[in-house]
C-alpha cells in the first residue's frame, strides 16, 4: 500500500499557500473559457473521437467506500474526481487552475469576492441540471455535513450567494490564495441537491464518466456518461483494478489483463518494461515528499544540532539510488518541483560526515539511541535500513522499528508522537503548512515566524505569495525541521499506443478523460 498521509489543513487558510497564476489575474479563466471542460481538462486530446473501446488500469489501494465527504484517503478521489465529479475549477497538467463547471470567474479588488459564471448545459447523472443552487449547496455542505478534516479548507468562506441560475458569488472572510486552489481538489466537488443520499455507493456527478460496476476487493468500472455536456471521452469503459501485491500488478500487465500500471510500486522492476517494445514507461513527478520526519517537540531531536547532524549524515543521492532505483527528485525542503515556489535547496545540507560527527558531539546527545519508527510501506521499509546505516556510519545510535501501517503507526507515531524519527511520504498537494505549520501535528514543529510567513503568503498577491513561500521553505530547511529524502516519482507503464496519460500526478485525480487509444 502506498501511503498517503492526508493532512489537514488546519491552517489551510492561513498556512498553506495556494494558487498559481490563474488566480492573480482577475480575468483568470476568461482567456480559456468556453463551456467545454473536456477540452481544457487534464490530458484531453482535442479532436479524439469517442469509441466503444475499454481500458483497464491497475492500481494499489482500493477505496473502502465512495464517499470522500466522510472517508479520508487518496483512493476515492483518485477514481472519482474529474472523472465522475467535477469542480468549478480544476488543475491542468501544468498545475494551473483552469475552468471546469465554471466557464470563467472574476476576483474583486479586495481579493475577497469571487464571482463564478457557470456552464449552462451541465447536467448531473440523475438527470437534474447543474445550477448555481447546486454550487451553493455543495460549498455550504462542506462545513455542514463533511466529517473529514479536509473540510477546514472551506472555513475561510464567509457566504455563498446565488446571483442567477448560472452565477454564484462567494465571499471570503479574508483574502486566500489557497482557497481557489483547494476548490480544484475534492473539497470543491459539485454535488446534486438530490444526489447525496447514498454517496458511499452511488456517486452522482456531472463528469464525463459515471460509476459502472464495483466488485469489492477487485475492481471499479466507470462507463462513459452519454449525456455529458462537454467533449465526450474516448473510452466507453475504464476499469480500475486493484492489486495489493506489486508482482501481481506487473504480471497483470505482462499477461494483458490490464493496459496500464497506474503507479509502479517497485521501481527496480521497471527494467522488464523498458526493454520491451510493447510498453511505454512514463516517469514524472508527484506531490509526495518522502520525509525523514523528526520529533521537534521532545527527545533528542528537539536539539537543533542533532537535526542538523542527521541532515549532514545522509547521502541523498546514494540513498535514492539504493532504495528507490534512483528514481525521484532530490528537493531539500517541503516543496515538490511542480510547485511555483520550488527551488533546489539540496545545497543547504550537503553530505558531510565529518561535520555530522562534530555536530553530534557538540549536541551532547551522542549517547542517545534514536528510535526510527517507520510504517510498513514499501518506500519506508526500503529506505529505512539505508538511513539507519548511513546514520550509524556517522556515529549515531539508531534503533529501527517497523510499525504496521496504518493502524499501529497512526497510534504510535502520528497520534502519540512516541518517536524520534520516521519516514513517510506526505502526498497531499501544497502541504508545507499542514505538516509544519501546526504545533500539534506529529512533527511537533513550532515556529511563529514560519507560520506568520505562510499567512502572509496566503493573503498576498501572486508575486508576494511565491516570494514568501520560497522564504518559508528555506526557513524550514535551514532550521532542519525534517530531512527530505526525495519526491516519489510518478511511474506509469502502459501498452504502447495509449495516449494522453498525464506525466505528473499533481492533482488528486487519476484523470482518464483525456486517454485515448490508437
Question: C-alpha 204: how far from its chain's center?
Answer: 23
247 is a site residue for another protein (CB under 8 A): yes
255 vs 367, which CB is nearer to another protein? Answer: 255
Beta bridge partners of 91: 97
| Rounded-to-5 percentages of helix, strand, coil across the chain | 30, 25, 45
27 vs 201, which CB is nearer to another protein? Answer: 201
Question: C-alpha 480: how far from its chain's center?
Answer: 23
Total of residues contacting another protein (CB under 8 A): 47
- Choose, by CB under 8 A, the member of 24, 196, 223, 254 that binds another protein: 254
471-475: long-range contacts, CB 8 A cutoff, minimum separation 24:
472/432, 473/333, 473/334, 473/335, 473/341, 473/343, 473/345, 473/432, 474/333, 474/343, 474/345, 474/348, 475/447, 475/449, 475/450
- Choose, by CB under 8 A, the member of 29, 35, 62, 502 that binds another protein: 62
Stretch that binds another protein, among 1-9, 114-122, 332-340, 462-470 (CB under 8 A): 1-9
178 is a site residue for another protein (CB under 8 A): no
74 vs 180, which CB is nearer to another protein? Answer: 74
Residue 168 in contact with residue 188, Cβ under 8 Å?
no
268 is a site residue for another protein (CB under 8 A): no
As a whole number of angstroms, the distance between CA 299 and CA 421 comes to 10
Closest separation between CB of residue 315 and another protein, Å? 30
111 is a site residue for another protein (CB under 8 A): no
215 is a site residue for another protein (CB under 8 A): yes
Q: b/e per residue, 428-439, with b = 16+ CB within 10 A?
A: bbbbbbbbbbbe
Give the list of residues 6+ apart from residue 218 with CB closer than 8 angstroms, or none: 241, 242
Stretch that binds another protein, among 67-75, 129-137, 180-188, 393-401 (CB under 8 A): 67-75
124 to 121, 172, 275, 443, 509: CA distances (angstroms): 10, 27, 45, 42, 19
- Give, as ranges, the residues between 118 and 157 that touch another protein (CB under 8 A): 147-150
Stretch that binds another protein, among 14-22, 214-222, 310-318, 460-468 (CB under 8 A): 214-222
Stretch that binds another protein, among 5-13, 285-293, 335-343, 487-495 (CB under 8 A): 5-13
108 vs 376, which CB is nearer to another protein? Answer: 376
393 vs 415, which CB is nearer to another protein? Answer: 415
- Choose, by CB under 8 A, the member of 72, 362, 464, 479 that binds another protein: 72
430 is a site residue for another protein (CB under 8 A): no
Stretch that binds another protein, among 18-26, 249-257, 329-337, 362-370 (CB under 8 A): 249-257
DSSP secondary structure code for residue 348 in this structure: G
As a whole number of angstroms, the distance between CA 160 and CA 410 comes to 36
- Give, as ranges, the residues between 392 and 411 that touch another protein (CB under 8 A): 404-408, 410-411
74 vs 309, which CB is nearer to another protein? Answer: 74
As a whole number of angstroms, the distance between CA 276 and CA 281 comes to 10
Give the list of residues 6+ apart from residue 81 with CB closer than 8 angstroms, or none: 87, 185, 186, 189, 507, 508, 509
327 is a site residue for another protein (CB under 8 A): no
Residue 101 in contact with residue 87, Cβ under 8 Å?
yes
DSSP secondary structure code for residue 333 in this structure: S
43 vs 378, which CB is nearer to another protein? Answer: 378
Which residues of this chain interact with another protein, rule CB under 8 A?
1, 5-8, 10, 62, 64-65, 67, 70-73, 147-150, 200-201, 215-218, 241-245, 247-248, 251-252, 254-255, 257, 404-408, 410-412, 414-415, 434
Amino acid at each position: 500500500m502506498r501511503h498517503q498521509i492526508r493532512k489537514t489543513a488546519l491552517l489551510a487558510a492561513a498556512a498553506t499557500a495556494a494558487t498559481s497564476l490563474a488566480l492573480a489575474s482577475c480575468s483568470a479563466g476568461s482567456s480559456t473559457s468556453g463551456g467545454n471542460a473536456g477540452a481544457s481538462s487534464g490530458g484531453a486530446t482535442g479532436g479524439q473521437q469517442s469509441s466503444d473501446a475499454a481500458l483497464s488500469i491497475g492500481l494499489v489501494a482500493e477505496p473502502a467506500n465512495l464517499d470522500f465527504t466522510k472517508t479520508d484517503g487518496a483512493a476515492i478521489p483518485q477514481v472519482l474526481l474529474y472523472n465522475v465529479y467535477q469542480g468549478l475549477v480544476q488543475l491542468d497538467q501544468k498545475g494551473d487552475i483552469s475552468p471546469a463547471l465554471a466557464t470563467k470567474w472574476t476576483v474583486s479588488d479586495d481579493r475577497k469576492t469571487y464571482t463564478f459564471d457557470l456552464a449552462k448545459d451541465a447536467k448531473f447523472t440523475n438527470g437534474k441540471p447543474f445550477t448555481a443552487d447546486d454550487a451553493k449547496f455543495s460549498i455550504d455542505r462542506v462545513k455542514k455535513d463533511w466529517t473529514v478534516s479536509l473540510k477546514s479548507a472551506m472555513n475561510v468562506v464567509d457566504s455563498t450567494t446565488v446571483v442567477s441560475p448560472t452565477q454564484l458569488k462567494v465571499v471570503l472572510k479574508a483574502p486566500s490564495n489557497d482557497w481557489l486552489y483547494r476548490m480544484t481538489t475534492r473539497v470543491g466537488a459539485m454535488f446534486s441537491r438530490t444526489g447525496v443520499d447514498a454517496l458511499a455507493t452511488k456517486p452522482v456527478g456531472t463528469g464525463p464518466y459515471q460509476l459502472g460496476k464495483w466488485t469489492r476487493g477487485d475492481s471499479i468500472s466507470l462507463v462513459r456518461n452519454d449525456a455529458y455536456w462537454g467533449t465526450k471521452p474516448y473510452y466507453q469503459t475504464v476499469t480500475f483494478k486493484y492489486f495489493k501485491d506489486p508482482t501481481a500488478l506487473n504480471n497483470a500487465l505482462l499477461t494483458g489483463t490490464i493496459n496500464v500500471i497506474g503507479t509502479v510500486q517497485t521501481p527496480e522492476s521497471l527494467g522488464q518494461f523498458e526493454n520491451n517494445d510493447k510498453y511505454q514507461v512514463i516517469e514524472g513527478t508527484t506531490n509526495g515528499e518522502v520525509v525523514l520526519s523528526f520529533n521537534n517537540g521532545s527527545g533528542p531531536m528537539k536539539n537543533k544540532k542533532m537535526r542538523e547532524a542527521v541532515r549532514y549524515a545522509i547521502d541523498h543521492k546514494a540513498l535514492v539510488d539504493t532504495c528507490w532505483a534512483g528514481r525521484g527528485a532530490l528537493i531539500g525542503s517541503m516543496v515538490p518541483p511542480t510547485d511555483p515556489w520550488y527551488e533546489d535547496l539540496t545545497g543547504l545540507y550537503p553530505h558531510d560526515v565529518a561535520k555530522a560527527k562534530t555536530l553530534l558531539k557538540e549536541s551532547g546527545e551522542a549517547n542517545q539511541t534514536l528510535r526510527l519508527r517507520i510504517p510498513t510501506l514499501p518506500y519506508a521499509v526500503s529506505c529505512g535500513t539505508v538511513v539507519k546505516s548511513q546514520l550509524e556510519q556517522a556515529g549515531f545510535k539508531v534503533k529501527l522499528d517497523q510499525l504496521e501501517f496504518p493502524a499501529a503507526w497512526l497510534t504510535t507515531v502520528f497520534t502519540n508522537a512516541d518517536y524520534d524519527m520516521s519516514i513517510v511520504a506526505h502526498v497531499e498537494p501544497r502541504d508545507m503548512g499542514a505538516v509544519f505549520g501546526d504545533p500539534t501535528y506529529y512533527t511537533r514543529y513550532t515556529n511563529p515566524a514560519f507560520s506568520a510567513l505562510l499567512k502572509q503568503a496566503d493573503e498576498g498577491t501572486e508575486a508576494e505569495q511565491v516570494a514568501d513561500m520560497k522564504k518559508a521553505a528555506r526557513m524550514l530547511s535551514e532550521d532542519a525541521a525534517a530531512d527530505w529524502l526525495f519526491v516519489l516519482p510518478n511511474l506509469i507503464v502502459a501498452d504502447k499506443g495509449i495516449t494522453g496519460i498525464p506525466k505528473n500526478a499533481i492533482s488528486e485525480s487519476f484523470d482518464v478523460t483525456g486517454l485515448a487509444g490508437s
